[in-house]
Amino acid sequence: MAGFVNYVKESFDELKNNVSWPTWAEAQSLTILVAVFSIIFSLAIWGVDTVFSRVIEWYFSLLS
């Protein structure tokens, strides 16, 4: 158990002293960038899914 406690203490020390954290403005701009690209990517996936589902519906309508 002492090993785990030591691991947690060292992890917090690493985060506090050795990690370079972004500024608040940089974090906000990167969050907006990720949100925009997530929306664009989800719309692209939705479009491809819609096209494929229509193609499959058309294909199966030819078979019946």
The mean per-residue pLDDT over the stretch 16-27 comes to 94
* pLDDT of 64: 79
Q: Is residue 30 a contact partner of residue 22, using CB atoms and an 8 Å limit? A: yes
Domain boundaries, given as residue ranges, for the chain? 39-64
Question: Exposed (0-12), middle (13-18) or buried (19+): which is 17, by Cβ within 10 Å?
Answer: exposed
Residue 53, pLDDT > 80, answer yes
Which amino acid, 8?
Answer: V
**CA–CA–CA angle 29, 34, 37 (5° rounding):** 125
pTM: 0.66
